Amino acid sequence: MLLCHSLNPTNMKLHKLHLTAFRGATKPFILPFAPDKNITLIYGENGSGKSTIADALICVCTDALGSIEDKSGADKSWLCAAGQTPDAVQLALHTDQGVFSARLAGKKFVRKPDSGQPRLRHLRRSSVVALSTATPAERYEQLAEYFDLSPIIKSEENLRSLLRSLKNEAERLLGAQAEVQRILEEIWRNEGQPTETWQEWAKTETEKDLDQERLRLQRTRAIIEYAQRLFQSAETLRQVRQEGAQARQLREVAENQLQTLQNQAGADAGLLQLLQQARHLLDRHDAQDTCPICRQHAGQSQLLAALDTRLQAMNALQEALEAANTARENHQNLQAVWKRTLEDFNQTLEHLLHSAEADPECPVLLRSQLERILQEPTHAQRLEQLDADQTPLQAMIQGRQLIAETIAKALDQHFLIAENWRAVQSKSSAARENTARLKAAEQALQIVESSRKQFIDSELSAISAEVDALYQSLHPGEDLGQVRLFLKEKGKNSLELSARFHDETELAPQSVYSESHLDTLALCVYLALAKRYGGSDTVLLLDDVLSACDEAHLERFIDLLQVQSRYFAHIIVTTHYRPWRERFRTQPTDSLELVELGEWSLEGGISLRQQA
């Protein structure tokens, strides 16, 4: 994200860097920083431990692991020094604002505190070479930590997604609105186009008060329902009356047969029941030696045999008794059904007459026929009168059914009209709201895109001017420069770089610049970005960024660092380039300290040879 930082005169001060069991630090190593200098030049031959020091700063101040991540296939277990265990790895950067430490947990570092570390901007030789020859997309990726536009671009994509969603919703609403309009217009045409437009007709129909029509339907359906119940009750009464007559005959026959058998056997049903109860009693009590009736002595087996003999002799009587009981029960059940149905018949007849009288549209003939039926003095006469009048009554009820169907159809159509008209209104309102949201989203996207472009153009213009100023200080009078960083109009995550070469402008510098000129150009780009988006707590780490260069350019670069150092908490430069060492040995400066590393060994680790 692009963030501009103002200059803070009270820069953070580095005191010392302490390494324990980290990479080349097989022995504890402390790198002190001179309190009165804010540029430290660390010189050492290859393999002396410069990368270990740089990586330690990276691990303390960032989530990265340093140079080991740049090497394909590198084993991260070698973050700890040879012969050491991961739990022994400790890093600590002492500053005037506190101590910032890191310990190795697995293959990651846990920092303490977990926030507030110095802001580290680090640049390696490999990054300089890569930037000078990178494609626009690769260049953007390399510099993304300085001005990552992905959140802004994501916001724009979200707005575009919203626009697509709103446009799809507009199409859906338009289709749904067209469908309900088609339905209403079709009904309007089927009704003979009673008004000039279907909209006027639909609005008028929807506003109609149909309470009276609903009341008409309710009254008509009540008459139909009671009439159907009356006819059903009448049919049930006829059936029960017929079945009841048959049941009465069967009952009389069964009871006469029972009486005949009782007379012939000289016993009645009461005796049969008494013998059955005695038999049941003996079955329940073992070793019974007296008669349960006369109390005379008798063995249980004798009593059972005597009872079985009497009961067998009365089998016919038993069967007759059961048949009589069954016939009597059937007859009584039918009598109960008759009574209930008759009550329902009379109540339904009264309800039907009441409903007919409550309906002003009910035919007078229907009411008079119902009154005549109710005036009959007996139930049988009412039923006979209903049978006589059933045909004309059913015809009149069928007429009421046709009326009910007509009213119901009209109400259903009105409901359909009202529902679709409300849908037209609702979808029209939703379409207007959606159109307003769509317009607002389009305006928002235009604003965001325009603001992003203006902001990015402004930032890149300022960065380009700073890069060019830094570059001109390194290459004065060489007809080079006019450096410009920019994004293409429709490009995303693609950073273009152009420069001047004598009379030619807007060239890709890698096409014509020498390797050393490309190196210094890349270095100026990084330096300008670190300066613009850094602050008083920013540490600039230049890890072996420059190879061979002539004395004049070396002097200019040293001057450049000294001028720019006031914008950073500290600048740390590592190099194996001897002219750097010789320059500061012979011509020390007030703002820069020279630290020379000794020869590295497994037993001694990293060592200091000289510090000036």
Number of domains in the chain: 2
- 410 or 271: which carries more pLDDT confidence? 410
Q: Can you give the residue range of the structural domain that contains 606? A: 14-149+493-611
Which of 7-11, 70-74, 331-335, 557-561 comes out lowest in average pLDDT?
Answer: 7-11
pLDDT (average), residues 57-86: 83
- In angstroms, how far is CA 390 from the centroid of its own chain? 66
User: Which of 355, 376, 397 represents a domain boundary (last residue)?
Assistant: 355
Segment 463-511, tens digit of pLDDT? 889 999 998 998 898 888 888 888 776 666 788 888 888 888 888 888 8
User: Do 343 and 225 lie in a common domain?
Assistant: yes
User: Do 217 and 351 lie in a common domain?
Assistant: yes
Give DSSP secondary structure letters for 41-60: EEE--TTSSHHHHHHHHHHH
Give DSSP secondary structure letters for 256-312: HHHHHHHHHHT--HHHHHHHHHHHHHHHHSSS--B-TTT--B--HHHHHHHHHHHHH
User: Which of 333, 355, 377 represents a domain boundary (last residue)?
Assistant: 355
H helix and E strand count, the chain: 14, 14
HSE-up (13 A, CA, CB side) for residue 23: 25
Beta bridge partners of 102: 91, 111
User: Do 251 and 345 lie in a common domain?
Assistant: yes
> Which residues lie closer than 8 Å to 158 by C-beta, 6 or more apart?
none
> pLDDT at residue 406 above 90?
yes
> What is d(CA 318, CA 269) in angstroms, rounded to the nearest whole number?
8
Q: For residue 548, name the pLDDT band (cuts at 50, 70, 90).
A: low
User: Which of 355, 386, 411 represents a domain boundary (last residue)?
Assistant: 355
Asked if the structure places residue 340 within a domain, the reply is: yes
Q: b/e string for 100-136 if b means 16 or more Cβ within 10 A?
A: bbbbbeeeebebeeeeebbbbbbbbbebbbebbebeb
Q: For residue 4, name the pLDDT band (cuts at 50, 70, 90).
A: very low
**Can you point out the beta strands (E) in 96-231?**
98-105, 108-112, 119-124
* Amino acid letter, residue 20: T
pLDDT (average), residues 340-368: 93
User: Do 144 and 218 lie in a common domain?
Assistant: no
> Which residues lie closer than 8 Å to 432 by C-beta, 6 or more apart?
none
User: Do 104 and 229 lie in a common domain?
Assistant: no
Beta bridge partners of 123: 542
Asked if the structure places residue 122 within a domain, the reply is: yes
Please indicate, yes or no, whether the overall pTM of this predicted structure exceeds 0.95.
no
Segment 518-546, tens digit of pLDDT? 888 888 888 988 888 887 889 999 998 87
> What is d(CA 397, CA 409) in angstroms, rounded to the nearest whole number?
18
User: Do 113 and 222 lie in a common domain?
Assistant: no
pLDDT (average), residues 406-433: 92
Beta bridge partners of 480: 501
User: Do 226 and 133 lie in a common domain?
Assistant: no
User: Do 347 and 218 lie in a common domain?
Assistant: yes
User: Do 142 and 217 lie in a common domain?
Assistant: no
> What is d(CA 331, CA 497) in angstroms, rounded to the nearest whole number?
112
Confidence (pLDDT) at 33: 95
334 neighbors 247 (Cβ within 8 angstroms): yes
Asked if the structure places residue 196 within a domain, the reply is: no
Q: What is the CATH number of the domain that holds 258?
A: 1.10.287.620
3-class secondary structure, 72: coil
Which of 106-120, 295-309, 554-568 comes out lowest in average pLDDT?
Answer: 295-309
Asked if the structure places residue 106 within a domain, the reply is: yes
> pLDDT at residue 1 above 70?
no
pLDDT (average), residues 202-229: 93
* Number of residues assigned to the chain: 612
> pLDDT at residue 231 above 60?
yes
Q: What is the CATH number of the domain that holds 502?
A: 3.40.50.300
Mean pLDDT for the chain?
Answer: 86
Asked if the structure places residue 168 within a domain, the reply is: no
> Which residues lie closer than 8 Å to 286 by C-beta, 6 or more apart?
300
Asked if the structure places residue 510 within a domain, the reply is: yes
